[in-house]
Chain A
């Protein structure tokens, strides 16, 4: 019951947010040329958020919206009203199950809500004014953000995620066992949840933050590097700041790098 109430609140909050933004939404539905095969989606943009959800259909549904500013009365200039300039260019290209979404208006913040077939590899980049959110997708997911967070939930496959000013949060249900992964941030926490049977070698570096994990890691001691300088006749000893940890015997290399934020490697 409590949960239901929370959910209702959550939904309300989303509705309110949507109405507050006054978004003008456009929808493009793209059927796949080979509906039974896995697909790929690529979307690189400069401004705006991206949300991708897996669904059971065979087509890709792209909903795009911009944040309108309809307070035309406020923005008067020399007795003239500002007419909202919300036109933007959007193109979706599908070729052999590869979908490429691009906008011809890089300065306009466009928020995407995309539905893809569950088996879909993603390549999502954004820079400003938005987060990247992915849910229920099976495939290789590559996400880059700069000023926003990355949140990936219920993912099967592999992830390469990087952001600068925001957190990276990933929850896997299943992982592709042979593929290396990487998670990096500068000013935000990195929080990744793996299945308990994960086999991987974690390579972790966190400059000012802490590293936490409930996996039992077999840590490798790094030997100090010794270097001789023949000319100046000195020896230098340095230690690699990376932490290497084998999880369940080790496997492909999973890289975690952060500067100002903690790193969490969780077991499901």
Chain B
């Protein structure tokens, strides 16, 4: 038996869990080595003394100190609380580590939300684009109308006047162009078409007044008749004075004179 082995056996003996055979071997070693016997005795004494040591009771002061420390920590926490996002993050983290079902639901919901946002953005964009295009088309139509009105050919000018039906009714430029045509176009049929086109936008009082006044400027009985028809349709009471001054004109076609007189009765 070596010295180290004897030391191990000695510790087991002191603990009290050494079997009889090993106790006999240890006794033999102790008896053979007086130096080890001395060490064994001193260690045995120490062990015995350790068992006799009393566990000290915690003092009343230590308890107080602990509470003071805890209170200090609490106060520190209240002064510098954990930010809400960290708390939320922590909560989500705890929740997140749960089952896969909520994770899957969350994923799908986010995907749908994204799609919806994307669709809405796209929709807004395309609506803007459509509005922009419609405006451009309107402007192009206007330009085309003006270009056509410059043409020598009466049928092309007629086409231009008819284009006014497709345009924005509230556009004052269109009204102006139509009135110019009514006043200056050399062709009676083009002027006639202009009267009809102006009638379409006659919901503006200004336009009505101007159309009624134009009766005095027109020489052609066909156009005069068309304007009187429009006056009847509009039931514009203020047209009375215009028709009266129209009737004072000379060289009015008898049929138109009769018609104007009848109109006065109708208004």
- Residues of A whose CB lies within 8 Å of any CB of B are 40, 121, 123, 125, 140, 142, 144, 158-162, 164, 176, 179-187, 205, 207, 225, 227, 236, 238, 240-241, 252-253, 255, 257, 259-260
- Of B154, B158, B193, B225, which contacts A123 at CB under 8 A? B154
Q: A interface, by DSSP: helix, strand, loop or mixed?
A: strand
Contacts of B153 in A (CB 8 A): 121, 140, 142
Residue of A nearest to B191 (CB): A162
Contacts of A123 in B (CB 8 A): 152, 154
Given A160-B158, A187-B255, verify A257-B226 contact (CB < 8 Å): yes
- Of B187, B188, B226, B235, which contacts A238 at CB under 8 A? B235
* CB atoms of A144 and B158 under 8 A apart: no
Given A180-B162, A182-B192, verify A140-B233 contact (CB < 8 Å): no
Chain B 219-235 interface 0/1 with A at a Cβ cutoff of 8 Å (1 = within): 01110011001000101
Contacts of B186 in A (CB 8 A): 125
* CB atoms of A181 and B152 under 8 A apart: no
Within 8 A of A (CB), among B139-198: 152-156, 158-159, 162, 186-190, 192-193
Contacts of A187 in B (CB 8 A): 255
- With an 8 Å Cβ cutoff, the count of chain B residues facing the other chain is 25
* Cα(A260)–Cα(B186), bound, Å: 24
* CB atoms of B155 and A158 under 8 A apart: yes
Cβ of A145 to closest chain B Cβ, rounded Å: 10
* Cα(A259)–Cα(B221), bound, Å: 10
Given A181-B158, A238-B235, verify A162-B229 contact (CB < 8 Å): no
Cβ of B229 to closest chain A Cβ, rounded Å: 7
Contacts of A142 in B (CB 8 A): 153-155, 187
* Cα(A225)–Cα(B152), bound, Å: 36
* CB atoms of B233 and A240 under 8 A apart: yes
Known: A158-B155, A160-B155. 17 other contacts (CB 8 A): A40-B152, A140-B154, A140-B155, A140-B156, A142-B153, A160-B158, A162-B220, A162-B222, A180-B158, A185-B222, A205-B229, A225-B233, A236-B235, A241-B229, A241-B233, A255-B192, A259-B222
